[in-house]
Structure 1
Amino acid sequence: MNLVLRGFAGLALGLPLVLPLPAVAQTRSKPVAARSAKPAVSVAPTSAAPIQAPSPDEPISPSDSALRVVDWVGVSKDNHALPYVIVDKVNAAMFLFDSTGKPIAAVPVLVGIAPGDEATPGVGSKTLAEIGPAEKTTPAGRYLAKFGLAFRKERILWVDYATSVAIHPIPGDVGKAEGRRERMLSPTPDDNRITFGCINVPRAFYSKSLRPLFQKKGGYVYVLPDTRPIEEVFPRLRVHALQNSGLYR
């Protein structure tokens, strides 16, 4: 077990590596999806599964797919000495690492309403009203994310500026009917698909953990797929698996 996976063992056991957030969601195992609205823009209420009451604090454990990416990045140093996050859309979770690969925190997230791993061509130039339900996806892939200005001169972490996908807290002017905070704190990921494609994270995590690590030089964001095979999104996983098996040197 490499050092990164040992660190994740600490996360799973609830050691100090897990960011202490109120009612952090339980270990996630059910599918999720959502595309967050563009920063500081309210969105019309969306019908979805009933909101569940927040559950007691429980650490978020990485899925097998997340662990594969963790191991690959840790061994190959694919992050190029920059901090990085792994976003598991299916389980509505984010795992933050510093530039050395040390696990820092694991938190629940909200993602795009529609399942899917591709952004519709031209979606980044559309207004929110012009984006159709099937276009509200959080695209999968590897991105070099950096802070930049959004619509109201707020600095947010842009994952893919061309498609208007960013990581940011829940916008303050989003309608209460969407219940974004309740969705984030619910015990399963089933109701975490509610955004236009952006990735919503807890505000305390954003300001105290994510922003301090990413604000100077940026960092990498690995968004796991929810419809495509993971090896199609991250082809180097195949080589890494062969190297681990001893069949490829």
Structure 2
Amino acid sequence: MSSTMPPDLQARPPKSEFLRSLAQGVVIGAIALAIAIPWMRAHPLHQTPEVSAPAAAPEVSAPVRPAVPVPPTHPAAPHRLADFRGVHVSAAVREVANWSFYTGDNHGHSVVILDKKAAMVYALDPSGRLVSSAPVLLGLAVGDDAEPGIGDKPLSQIRDDEKTTPAGRFVAEPGENTQGEDIVWIDYDLALAMHRVIKGTPAEQRARRLASPDPNQRRISFGCINLPPAFYDHVLSPAVKKTGAIVYILPEIKTTRQVFGSWDVTQPGAHPPAGTGVRTAAASARGKPARAYRENPAAAGSAATAQ
């Protein structure tokens, strides 16, 4: 009885053939390694560099846009306004002060403004800041012009209607009267000065008038501006000597535009009035001898009797 092998066993190669194939595979693998290893040593694999995560992009803010400058409404120089530090002043005082500093009409000097209607004086430093204010005694008569030749008239010949404190723009200058007393000249030729209040005659009662709240009571002088001694000594005189001062005596009949050529610089579109200009300053007192002012007690015919 012949035995027959199962089909799956019949398909298997003989064992010796299997081993021979395995040995051939090992030999081929060894040959491949012998070839590959020298080549790999000559050509090492490059390591891939570590790549760190990208840093967060810096925040980019929107570009700052500069403010668009507002073009000046007025053509002039420093563009500075007066600072009265909360002190109430008339519209005319504020307008002239603002105009002076805004346009540079003060030329870097202190500014002194005399409000004849209120019989008050205001002193501002060169930056436009109010230093002090004070009541004053003024010319008896209402008016903005000086009588021709008034500076050479004896006081006894000056009529009441000629006793005006003229309006205008003046360059203040230190000086002295014939008694050797220091004064501030406003107009040398007109014998117009600012000085400490004088006693005057008993009937004039100048000290009482200076203390009166009524501006009309402070109209008594021949035209000069009488000041409280403290204001003269500590405000006016130092300003004139240290920084120089421009004095604006405001009109009481004419307009400020007529006298100074000023305008309200705070108004949009404001401009100098046509055909006007700053009045020239009075004749300088420099180099001229001491002379009597309109209320010098030693002047012939003076109504004043003593300092």
Instruction: Please say if residues 108 and 184 of structure 1, whose CA atoms lie closer than 8 Å, have aligned partners that are also in contact.
Output: yes
Deviant stretches of 4+, over 6 Å: none
**Which residue of the other structure, out of 170, 179, 182, is the alignment partner of 2:197?**
170
**Which residue of the other structure, out of 260, 263, 284, is the alignment partner of 1:234?**
260
Gaps of 5+ in 1: 13-60
Q: Give per-residue Cα distances to partners, 1:96-139, cap 9 Å, x unaligned.
A: 01122211001111100000000011000111011111110000
**What TM-score do you get using the length of structure 1 for normalisation?**
0.73
**Which residue of the other structure, out of 157, 160, 169, is the alignment partner of 1:133?**
160
Q: Give per-residue Cα distances to partners, 1:165-223, cap 9 Å, x unaligned.
A: 11111124x12321111111112212110000000111011101111111246311000
- 1:208 aligns to what? 234
Amino acid at match of 1:244: Q
Separation in structure 1 between the aligned mates of residue 162 and residue 156 of structure 2, nearest angstrom: 12
Query: For 1:79-228, what aligned pairs fall within 5 Å after superposition?
Result: 79-172=106-199, 174-216=200-242, 218-228=244-254
Instruction: Please say if residues 85 and 97 of structure 1, whose CA atoms lie closer than 8 Å, have aligned partners that are also in contact.
Output: yes
Instruction: Please say if residues 4 and 103 of structure 1, whose CA atoms lie closer than 8 Å, have aligned partners that are also in contact.
Output: no
Instruction: Please say if residues 93 and 107 of structure 1, whose CA atoms lie closer than 8 Å, have aligned partners that are also in contact.
Output: yes
Amino acid at match of 1:246: G
RMSD: 1.9
Separation in structure 2 between the aligned mates of residue 178 and residue 233 of structure 1, nearest angstrom: 31
Separation in structure 2 between the aligned mates of residue 77 and residue 248 of structure 1, nearest angstrom: 15
**What TM-score do you get using the length of structure 2 for normalisation?**
0.60
Gaps of 5+ in 2: 1-78, 273-307
Residue 245 of structure 1 pairs with residue 281 of structure 2: no
Instruction: Give the share of equivalent positions with the same residue, in percent.
Output: 38
- Count the aligned residue pairs: 194
For the residue of structure 2 that corresponds to 1:153, the secondary structure is: coil
Amino acid at match of 2:211: L
